[in-house]
Structure 1
Amino acid sequence: MPFDSLHTQSLADLDRLVLGKRIRHLRTQAGLTLGQLGDRVGVVASQLSLIENGRREPKLSLLQGISRELKVEPAELLRREAPDPRSALEIELERAQSSPGYLRLGLPHVRTPRTLGDEALKSLVGLHRELARRSRAAAASSEEARRANTEIRLQMRARDNYIQDIELVASDLMRRIGHGPGAVTHREVSMLAELLGFTLFFVDELPSNTRSITDLENGRIYLPPASIPGGHGLRSLALQAMAHRVLGHEEPSSYAEFLEQRMQINYFASACLIPEARAAEFLQQAKRNRNLAIEDFRDAFGVTHEAAAHRFSNIATRHLDLQVHHYRADGAGALVRGYENDGLPFPSDSSGSIEGQVLCHKWGGRSAFNRKNRTNEFYQFTDTPEGTFWTSVQTGDAEQGPFAIACGVRFNDAKWFRGTEKSGRMRSTCPDEDCCRRPNDDLLDRWRGKAWPSARMHQHVLSPLPTGTFPGVDDAEMYEFLAQHAPKEPGTATN
């Protein structure tokens, strides 16, 4: 990087630890002591030592002088890689000892003079890696995961479920591959992969607990040959895999960061499959005709009903001036996920988490299952303590069992949607126990003490939360898969 470009970039953005190690490495190669180089560039040796240890930010003029005296291009100083393996270990140890978790232990700060042997340095770094791994595993309790997920949901509600930066990136990429009207094709997804330097490969033997694997070294994205049960279409899976590169993700350092990245890649895939400008135009026309319908939105862009409902919630407030809700519930009425900025009173626990909470029997996401014919949309007005809401519900069956996808608005905004004239009406007073969770007196008198059910055990109740950098993924299995599928070097024997 030429120094001219640094006039518009703060030196604080540079990695001072790496910069210092590079200066020390190049000074040693040049055969200069701290004092000798300091004399040549006009600073005392102690000041230069602080810079080499990453504790002081150098001025541009000083960096220019150092590069000149060391006879290297300025870009050589500013490269972001450690100059050698020893320096990389020293940098990793310094960062580990600066972490809040280590500082809380009150242990001494270990310096890394050359008298500290490489084996001792490797041992210290290895101990810090294990400490960090155990800390991440301990933090990834189900309680912590629920808290992190709730925080993300509340943040998205505060921004009306809309992320402008991702919208702009997705719109630009779809423009660059020449996407026109209609659904995004598999060919266009492959073109986008090629634009980003990837090739898509479809394989039968993806490791367990992986939906895709990206080989960053060889520019390959491995995908299953068919959609994964639960509606994860291949187009969406491929776009999610690309999103990590597009959005600049690094390995997640916590479960909260993992969940944040998952939310972002899902958003990116949705923004590519249903581009903002065309989606807004389609929905605005439907609103003018008082004919908004999630099923029409779904069919126009060739996505799943859940993807359409979720994407509708991204766009509705910003482009339609509508506050909305949507959620997915299983056949037992438990919430799988949900979003609202219209005040729909989701049930929640003491931490504010809604996942796993049981919906009122009188909400549309549950009463929709009471129909004999579930092939059509179900529409319902529901009176709640927070007001009246209108909801459109689509039910379906998946490998895990039946589910419902609900999307709706407050009473006054229902006029923009198709189906209001067919809507039934229910009254919910939950969380009042008398609403739907306490049997009436006749049933209590008849059956109390005379029944003993055998409760179905939910598998997830006793299951630990998946651990690892990418929770649930077996690293050994993944790396063996990559080794088997990576392109062979010329002359390399194959098994």
Structure 2
Amino acid sequence: MTDLATLGQRIRHFRAGAGLTLDQLGAAVGIAGSQLSLMENGRREPRLSLLQSIAEALGVKVADLLSTEPPTARAALEIELDRLQGGAIYSALGLPSIRASRSMPDDTLSALVGLHRELARRAREAIATPEEARRANTELRHHMRDRNNYIPELEKLAEDTLRSVGHTTGALTHRSVALMARRIGFDLIHVDDLPHSTRSVTDLKNGRIYLPPASIPGGHGLRSMALQAMAHRLLEHHEPESYAEFLRQRLEINYFAAACLMPLQQSVDFLQAAKGDRNLAIEDFRDAFGVTHEAAALRFTNLATSHLDMTVHFMRVGDDGALYKGYENDGMRLPTDVTGSTEGQVVCRHWSARVAFTRTNRTTEFYQYTDTPTGTFWSSTQTGTGTQEDFSITFGVPFNDAKWFRGRDTRNREVSTCPDENCCRRPSGEIADRWAHKAWASARLHAHILSPLPSGTFPGVDDTELYDFLEAHSGDTD
């Protein structure tokens, strides 16, 4: 059924068109006019039998009453005003609600709705802060852990999309990605002047997806960028109204892109065969589909519990020990702050995610067993170099599942008692006594952890820069 506010407006519209009062229509269908008034104001839901009687009395079809379209432009404004005043943003102000009476002029109603829209817009800008981002990210992480990091509906969408361009096996080609874009009305265009705050830009008006130059190092990532941009359209995303919605949308487009680059059946077949040989390895999975090590490790977390019957953990850690991405459903206790957020928290020095940085040869995966307060875990870590710092990608499982992986025979083993600070966060007493109050260090501050994201329609994206870019390219015909 349509929402009650729209239903009420449509009943009122057709009642007025029939020249009936509330009491007259109420008498015709066997209810009091006051009860009918509650329905027209969206405060009460009519039974289907009553709705059929109302439709007959008004000389219309039930489908006419159940349409999702407001009957008039004014009705649409009245519905929007009611919804905005009932939202959390306006409610938090403690101000009374204003009902759009018949005597309220249209321009007054439009002004009220306009003010509420602006209030909501400013609130969306204000929430793009580190505190809100951390809270929303924590909620999303817990939600995905409850789902074992697996989203069946996105798996099916990816399979259907791949099938539409005839892709069946092997690594997904740039040509296939371009065909997928054309099927939904978009051309892929590579430019060298993308706004610095964007990875891609979609021009909905002219059907274009702008991407970085195809010749950039690591160009394989362009497939993922294009797929992510397409996912917004395939999933019918709207402009995010909260930071939590922005994060959910980002998770969904990343998941879709990964499911296209590493299709479900192909991936499961590959991983199950490797498990049968007791030779699972992230690097083999990575190379089989031509993706990054991080993408392969994350995709493994999507499939491990639902299709390989194992729980897992994943981490991306900076060379300073800060955790930037983390997932676990195997009991590995990730570091958190008092709010439960993991972002920016420092991981134990004894975990493979940090031990791997101490190796002289970083070209191969590093394997390690780690004894922790919640159990013993086996981990595989690969280090890499980003634009600003080195990082490590860690994938791991509980001790009992190490038997399925290459590297299970490693002799590397560490003991971690974190979050006990005596584990690795406090210097020994002798060293502390020797150096206390005798040294001074200048800290390297991660400014992005403290600074709010640029305010705009999309968190982190400068609207002015974005629109200037679109304006500059709107006349291109190539």
TM-score grouping bracket, smaller chain normalisation: 0.7 to 0.9
SS at structure 2 position matched to 1:421: coil
Aligned with residue 142 of structure 1, among 109, 122, 130: 130
- 1:66 to 1:206, Cα distance in 2 relative to 1, 3 A: farther
Q: Aligned residue for 1:418?
A: 406
Equivalent-residue separation in structure 1 for 2:221 and 2:427 (angstroms): 42
Equivalent-residue separation in structure 2 for 1:228 and 1:260 (angstroms): 29
CA deviation after TM superposition for structure 1 residue 202, in Å: 2.6
Please, which moves more after superposition, 408-417 or 431-440? 431-440
CA deviation after TM superposition for structure 1 residue 337, in Å: 0.8
SS at structure 1 position matched to 2:227: helix
Equivalent-residue separation in structure 1 for 2:244 and 2:69 (angstroms): 28
Aligned with residue 168 of structure 1, among 122, 147, 156: 156
Asked if structure 2 preserves the Cα contact closer than 8 Å seen for 1:466 and 1:472, the reply is yes
Q: Aligned residue for 1:464?
A: 452
Task: State yes or no: 1:299 paired with 2:294.
Answer: no
Aligned with residue 186 of structure 1, among 174, 184, 188: 174
Aligned with residue 406 of structure 1, among 388, 394, 403: 394
- 1:123 to 1:372, Cα distance in 2 relative to 1, 3 A: same
Equivalent-residue separation in structure 1 for 2:128 and 2:428 (angstroms): 42
Equivalent-residue separation in structure 2 for 1:100 and 1:448 (angstroms): 50
Q: Aligned residue for 1:215?
A: 203
Asked if structure 1 preserves the Cα contact closer than 8 Å seen for 2:318 and 2:389, the reply is yes
Equivalent-residue separation in structure 2 for 1:219 and 1:23 (angstroms): 39
Aligned with residue 343 of structure 1, among 331, 335, 341: 331
Aligned-residue sequence identity (percent) comes to: 61
CA deviation after TM superposition for structure 1 residue 430, in Å: 2.2
Q: Aligned residue for 2:101?
A: 113
Q: Aligned residue for 1:7?
A: none
Q: Normalized against structure 1, the TM-score is what?
A: 0.85
Q: Aligned residue for 1:367?
A: 355
- 1:195 to 1:79, Cα distance in 2 relative to 1, 3 A: farther
SS at structure 1 position matched to 2:409: helix
Equivalent-residue separation in structure 2 for 1:148 and 1:375 (angstroms): 36
Task: State yes or no: 1:329 paired with 2:317.
Answer: yes
Please, which moves more after superposition, 165-174 or 285-294? 165-174
Q: Aligned residue for 2:87?
A: 99
SS at structure 2 position matched to 1:344: coil
Look up the equivalent residue of 1:325 and give its one-letter code: H
Asked if structure 2 preserves the Cα contact closer than 8 Å seen for 1:244 and 1:265, the reply is yes
Task: State yes or no: 1:392 paired with 2:343.
Answer: no
- 1:418 to 1:461, Cα distance in 2 relative to 1, 3 A: closer
Per-residue Cα deviation, 1:437-464 (whole angstroms, up to 9, x for no partner): 3333553354333322222122224412
Asked if structure 2 preserves the Cα contact closer than 8 Å seen for 1:231 and 1:304, the reply is no
Per-residue Cα deviation, 1:259-304 (whole angstroms, up to 9, x for no partner): 1221122111111111111111100100111111100000001111
Task: State yes or no: 1:317 paired with 2:311.
Answer: no
Please, which moves more after superposition, 413-422 or 289-298? 413-422
- 1:468 to 1:50, Cα distance in 2 relative to 1, 3 A: same
Equivalent-residue separation in structure 2 for 1:121 and 1:266 (angstroms): 41
Asked if structure 1 preserves the Cα contact closer than 8 Å seen for 2:220 and 2:291, the reply is no
Please, which moves more after superposition, 334-343 or 425-434? 425-434
Please, which moves more after superposition, 419-428 or 320-329? 419-428
Q: Aligned residue for 2:187?
A: 199
Q: Aligned residue for 1:262?
A: 250
Asked if structure 2 preserves the Cα contact closer than 8 Å seen for 1:230 and 1:398, the reply is no
Please, which moves more after superposition, 132-141 or 300-309? 132-141
Asked if structure 2 preserves the Cα contact closer than 8 Å seen for 1:227 and 1:233, the reply is no
Unpaired stretches in structure 2, ≥5 consecutive residues: none
Equivalent-residue separation in structure 2 for 1:482 and 1:310 (angstroms): 33
Unpaired stretches in structure 1, ≥5 consecutive residues: 1-10, 489-493
Asked if structure 2 preserves the Cα contact closer than 8 Å seen for 1:40 and 1:69, the reply is no
Equivalent-residue separation in structure 2 for 1:454 and 1:82 (angstroms): 62
Look up the equivalent residue of 1:386 and give its one-letter code: T
Aligned residues: 476
Q: Normalized against structure 2, the TM-score is what?
A: 0.88
CA deviation after TM superposition for structure 1 residue 81, in Å: 3.8
